[in-house]
Each structure stands twice: as C-alpha cells, then as structure tokens.
Amino acid sequence: MRKRIAAIDSEMDEAKPLQRLHLTQEKMNLESKIEAAEAVVDISALEDEFVAVAREYGEAKGISYSAWRSNGVPAAILKRAGVSRSA
C-alpha cells in the first residue's frame, strides 16, 4: 500500500484533473487502510465486555456453545463467560 501511495504521489503532477481526483481518493483510501491496520485494539477490554453479557444473551436468544464457537469465539472466552457445551 505504501508503494502504491508513493506511485500515486509521482503520478499526481502529470495527471489530468479528473485523474488527479481519482488518485487523490485512492490515496486517501489506502491511507485509511494503513491507519486501520496499524490501530491498536484493547482486545482484553472487549473480551471482558463480552464475558459480562454472553451467557445471559446466549440463553435469551437460544445461542448454543457450538454456534458461538462456529463464529470464532474461543473456548476459553466462553468458559470465562460461563457458557458451557451442555447449555
């Protein structure tokens, strides 16, 4: 992405107005993707929030342990939340 941004910068001076518009947007999109990829997420805080509500929510909505697991929730997190396989 950074290589493409550098290429866009070098193309910008010779670009026609409409092309410059598209290049500008492409560069902005790439910069946003880089920023998102480099953002630090406090996953432990998100996990704690999930753990606090998962069991009650799952019981209210009829969501099984297997459904949680099939959607990527780690077994250790489900255990912390009190969601069991037999529920």
Question: Along the 87 residues of the chain, how does pLDDT read in single tens digits?
Answer: 999 999 999 999 999 999 999 999 999 999 999 999 999 889 999 999 999 999 999 999 999 999 999 999 999 999 999 999 985
Considering the domain boundaries, does residue 61 fall inside one? Answer: yes
Considering the domain boundaries, does residue 86 fall inside one? Answer: no
Q: With 0.75 as the threshold, say if the pTM is over it.
A: no
My answer on whether 51 and 64 are in the same domain is yes
Report how many domains make up the chain.
2
The CA-atom distances, in angstroms, between 30 and each of 7, 9, 24, 49, 68 are 12, 12, 10, 31, 33
Q: Which domain holds residue 67?
A: 43-81
My answer on whether 9 and 22 are in the same domain is yes
Going by the DSSP 8-state scheme, the letter that residue 15 receives in this structure is: -
My answer on whether 23 and 50 are in the same domain is no
My answer on whether 48 and 77 are in the same domain is yes
Coil vs helix vs strand at 84: coil
Distance CA 80, CA 48 (A): 9
